[in-house]
Amino acid sequence: MKAIEISNLTVRFGGLLAVDDFSFEVRKGDIHSLIGPNGAGKTTVINTITGLYPVSGGSIRVAGKEVLGSSPPAISRAGVARTFQNTEIFGEMSVFENVLVGSHCRHEYGLTAAMFRTPKYWRVERSMREKARDLLDIVGLSADSDKIASSLSFGKQRALEIARALASEPKLLLLDEPAAGLRSGEISHLNEALLNLRKQHELTILLVDHVMKVVMSISDEITVLNFGRKIAEGKPDVVRMDKEVRRAYLGDNPDRA
């Protein structure tokens, strides 16, 4: 079974065809990148998978189940988590609390348990806290746990957003430009964290990014979009050499790949 199967997806905004009869599949356990020039439709694909945009046609199956038409919370419960192109964290909360918010989406102990602090409440709370510490460790934020989130560097805020997304224990993680604006050292950390996550957490990752140092080095498979249509697909080395990709995306400048 595939982690994602998208068939003939079409998304229109008024007269604009943002995604045009797009089909693709992501294998379970892969890091699969979706790349393409600005405005190609990458974020629109992520937004439709997470139920944010109404679509004009097609089908999106996640782990075999149709999710088109489901609400964002239902899709989240189906095991899908994401980060946003513009980082979204709770700036006033601590780093640790930001991750806990993510796991509260997953675990429920009911109002009674919370009010009377039942053993179940403490059990769930304890395991969420342990989990949050693990996730902060994976993304390299252990030492920043008690800091106010807005005081972190931009790169660390992006890492925090990933940890929070993971706290909902997704099977499928959608990342929208996690490397944008990161420094070279931070990019190496990101690559390492994503490879570790895939290995240890049986996670499938759909990655949208313009940063080739990430895309080309950690992707199992790459799909290239241009004007809402798929123009190429394959292993990094194949896509890197593809003529149409170079024309559309890399401006025929081999150095950028």
Ligand X SMILES: Nc1ncnc2c1ncn2[C@@H]1O[C@H](COP(=O)(O)OP(=O)(O)OP(=O)(O)O)[C@@H](O)[C@H]1O
Point out which residues bind ligand X (CB under 6 A).
Answer: 13, 16, 18, 36, 38-44, 85
35 vs 141 by CB, closer to Mg ion: 35
The 10 Å Cβ neighbour count of residue 46 is 22
Residues near 183 by beta carbon (within 8 Å), at least 6 away in sequence: 155
Q: Which does 240 bind (CB under 5 to 8 A by kind): ligand X, Mg ion, none?
A: none
39 makes contact, choosing from ligand X, Mg ion, none, with CB < 5 to 8 Å by partner type, with ligand X
Q: How far apart are CA 104 and CA 238, in angstroms?
A: 42
CB of 73 to ligand X, least distance (A): 20
Tell me the closest approach of the beta carbon of residue 208 to ligand X, in angstroms.
Answer: 7
Query: What is the smallest separation between the CB atom of 80 and Mg ion, expressed in angstroms?
Result: 18
List all residues 6 or more positions away from 51 whose beta carbon is below 8 Å from its beta carbon: 67, 70, 71, 72, 74, 75
User: Is residue 57 within 8 Å of 20, Cβ to Cβ?
Assistant: no
When the beta carbons of 152 and 174 are compared against Mg ion, the nearer one is 174
Q: Which two tokens stand for residue 192?
A: 């390492």
Which CB atom, from 152 or from 208, has the smaller least distance to ligand X?
208
38 contact choice in Mg ion, ligand X, none (CB below 5 to 8 Å, kind-dependent):
ligand X
Residue 255: CB minimum distance to Mg ion, A:
23
Strands (E), 68-203: 80-82, 172-176
135 vs 222 by CB, closer to ligand X: 222
